[in-house]
C-alpha cells in the first residue's frame, strides 16, 4: 500500500514537472521583461536611493523616511497642514499623521489649531526641529551630489528634463484614471 502511494506520488510529481516544462517560457520570448519596464526601473532606483539616503539620517537622527520628508518639507515651507504635506510629498495621510505624531513627541514640530477648521492643524518646526533640518540639509545635499557625480552636466540637465516630463505625464495619467473612475 505504501509503495503504491509512493509510486502514485512519483507519477504525479513527474506529471507536474512535465506540465511545468510545457508551460515554461523562454525569458527572451516574454512580452514584458520586468527589468526593462520603466515603472519597475524607477521603483528600483527609488528604493535603492531611499535606502542609501536613509542611512544618512536614520543613524544620526533616529528618524525614518516619512519623518524625514515631513521635517524637510516644513524646513522648506515653514508652516503647512498635514494635508498639504501629504500632497507635496505624495504620502498617504496616515503616514503623514504617524510621522507628525512622532516628530511632535520628540518636540521637533508643534501643532497650532486652525480656527477656521478645527479638524486641521498648522504644523511648524520647533527650534530643535529647525536645528535638525539645518544640520541635516548639507548631508542630504552632499548625498545627492555623490549620487549624481557620475553624470556629465549635459546628462544631468537631460535627466532633470526627463524627470520633469515624466512627473507631469504621470500626473496627467492619474487624473485620467480618476476621471474614468467617476
| Residue 73 in this model has a pLDDT that exceeds 80 | yes
Are 98 and 104 contacting, i.e. CB atoms less than 8 angstroms apart?
A: no
pLDDT tens-digit readout, 124-142: 999 999 999 999 999 999 9
Helix (H, G, I), strand (E, B) or coil at 55: helix
| Residue 175 in this model has a pLDDT that exceeds 80 | yes
Cell of 14: 513527474
CA 5, chain centre distance (Å):
51
- Please report, rounded to a whole number, the percentage of residues in the chain having pLDDT higher than 90: 71
Average pLDDT along the chain: 89
CA 21, chain centre distance (Å):
37
pLDDT tens-digit readout, 96-119: 999 999 999 999 999 998 888 878
CA distance 62 to 132: 11
pLDDT tens-digit readout, 15-58: 666 655 556 668 788 999 999 999 999 999 999 999 999 988 89
Sorted by where each starts, the structural domains of the chain and their CATH numbers stand as: 62-139 (1.10.10.10)
Amino acid at each position: 500500500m505504501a509503495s503504491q502511494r509512493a509510486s502514485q506520488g512519483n507519477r504525479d510529481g513527474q506529471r507536474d514537472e512535465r506540465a511545468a516544462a510545457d508551460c515554461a517560457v523562454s525569458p527572451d520570448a516574454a512580452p514584458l521583461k520586468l527589468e526593462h519596464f520603466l515603472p519597475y526601473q524607477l521603483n528600483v532606483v527609488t528604493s535603492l536611493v531611499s535606502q542609501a539616503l536613509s542611512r544618512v539620517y536614520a543613524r544620526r537622527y533616529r528618524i525614518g523616511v516619512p519623518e524625514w520628508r515631513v521635517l524637510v518639507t516644513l524646513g522648506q515651507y515653514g508652516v503647512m497642514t498635514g494635508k498639504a504635506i501629504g500632497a507635496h510629498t505624495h504620502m498617504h495621510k496616515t503616514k503623514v499623521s504617524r510621522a507628525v505624531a512622532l516628530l511632535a513627541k520628540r518636540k521637533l514640530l508643534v501643532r497650532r489649531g486652525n480656527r477656521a477648521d478645527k479638524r486641521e492643524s498648522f504644523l511648524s518646526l520647533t527650534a530643535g526641529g529647525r536645528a535638525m533640518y539645518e544640520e541635516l540639509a548639507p548631508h542630504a545635499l552632499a548625498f545627492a551630489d555623490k549620487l549624481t557625480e557620475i553624470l556629465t552636466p549635459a546628462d544631468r540637465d537631460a535627466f532633470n528634463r526627463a524627470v520633469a516630463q515624466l512627473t507631469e505625464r504621470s500626473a496627467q495619467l492619474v487624473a485620467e484614471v480618476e476621471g474614468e473612475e467617476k
